[in-house]
């Protein structure tokens, strides 16, 4: 199997972050209403960058963002990138999973139905959610960060780091975990680590993953390439540190550095792996802990 990298984009807005008390900021500065953002322009900037290097990316589109900005879905489709589901709501706490299933059905009926992949908001995943997305017709998930447990944060340290089949008694679904540094199980597949630690750390995580497993999945957000993210005392400096042109340049450096590697969407990876027997794990090592990105 050839070595591959999948660049994924979680299409959401800056106020979907869990790094600060969002409602406090929205109420204080925006009168309690979520502001219009430049998510469409930022997504367009990423697409233009990817197209310039013949990269086919996977865009996990949040349902509530797609409905706020109807141009998003066609923008991604018309540029031949993959659309996948990022759930409908980003920060909704589901006390009843029938509500989660209802929201996924609404997404498929009203936003986009032709999708293979799912990524849970905040990377919060459970066996019950995996069963629901399988029942709703998804073929793969990419919600697991197989890193050391960070207290109060996230981590699934016992989960495999390579693509694998989550195999249960009556169903099977492929899992494409986020890249981590092998053996040490330190995260670095994007997000906070890309913004605050930088290009060299993410590059080395990808290199190590390619050497160990042959594949690396990394993730980005449109707001990370925005030049107009808000600056308020309630938002810690590290949330929007190095966003804008700096981040866009870092992404381009990653693409250039790995220009000899096949950069493909997760749906293309799914198709490529369909003829391969992947490791099977009957009990997925997942939790309901939240990652803050």
**pTM over 0.85, yes/no:** yes
Query: 282: pLDDT confidence band, cut at 50, 70 and 90?
Result: low
* Residue 286: predicted pLDDT: 53
Q: What tens digit of pLDDT does each residue of 97-109 get?
A: 999 999 999 999 9
* Residue 76: predicted pLDDT: 98
Complete domains list, the chain, with CATH:
4-13+36-226+245-281 (3.20.20.370)
* Residue 151: predicted pLDDT: 63
Query: 292: pLDDT confidence band, cut at 50, 70 and 90?
Result: very low
Of how many residues is the chain composed?
Answer: 293
How far apart CA 37 and CA 226 sit, in angstroms, is: 9
Which residues contact residue 83 at a Cβ distance below 8 angstroms, ignoring those fewer than 6 apart? 59, 61, 73, 76, 77, 112, 114, 115
The HSE-up count of residue 291 (CA atoms within 13 Å, CB side) is 28
Bridging pattern class, strands 180-181 and 215-220: unpaired
Residue by residue, DSSP assigns 240-272 as: STT-THHHHHHHHHHHHHTTTSEE--HHHHHHH
Q: What tens digit of pLDDT does each residue of 228-237 get?
A: 999 999 999 9
Query: 259: pLDDT confidence band, cut at 50, 70 and 90?
Result: very high
Q: What tens digit of pLDDT does each residue of 173-220 get?
A: 999 999 999 999 999 999 999 999 999 999 999 999 999 999 999 999
How far apart CA 54 and CA 52 sit, in angstroms, is: 6
- What rounded mean pLDDT belongs to the chain? 92
Helix (H) or strand (E) holding 194: helix 192-196
């Amino acid at each position: 199997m050839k070595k591959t990298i999948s660049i994924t984009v979680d299409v959401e807005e800056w106020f979907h972050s869990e790094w600060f008390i969002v409602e406090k900021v929205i109420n204080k500065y925006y009168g309690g209403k979520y502001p219009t953002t430049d998510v469409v322009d930022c997504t367009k900037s990423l697409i233009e960058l990817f197209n310039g290097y013949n990269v086919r990316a996977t865009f996990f589109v949040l349902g509530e963002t797609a409905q706020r900005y109807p141009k998003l879905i066609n923008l991604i489709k018309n540029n031949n990138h993959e659309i996948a589901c990022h759930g409908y709501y980003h920060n909704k706490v589901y006390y009843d999973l029938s509500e989660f299933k209802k929201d996924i059905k609404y997404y498929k009926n009203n936003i986009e139905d032709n999708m293979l992949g799912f990524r849970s908001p905040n990377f919060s995943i459970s066996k019950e959610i995996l069963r629901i997305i399988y029942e709703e017709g998804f073929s793969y998930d990419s919600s697991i960060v197989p890193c050391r447990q960070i207290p109060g944060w996230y981590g699934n340290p016992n989960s495999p780091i390579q693509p694998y089949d989550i195999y249960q008694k009556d169903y099977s679904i492929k899992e494409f975990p986020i890249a981590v540094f092998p053996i040490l199980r330190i995260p670095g597949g994007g997000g906070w680590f890309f913004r605050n630690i930088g290009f060299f750390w993410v590059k080395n995580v990808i290199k190590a993953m390619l050497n160990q497993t042959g594949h690396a999945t990394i993730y980005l957000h449109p707001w990370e390439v925005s030049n107009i993210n808000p600056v308020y005392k309630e938002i810690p400096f590290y949330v929007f540190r190095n966003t804008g042109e700096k981040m866009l340049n870092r992404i381009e450096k990653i693409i250039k550095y790995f220009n000899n590697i096949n950069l493909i969407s997760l749906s293309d990876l799914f198709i490529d792996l369909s003829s391969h027997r992947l490791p099977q794990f009957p009990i997925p090592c997942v939790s309901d802990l939240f990652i803050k990105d």
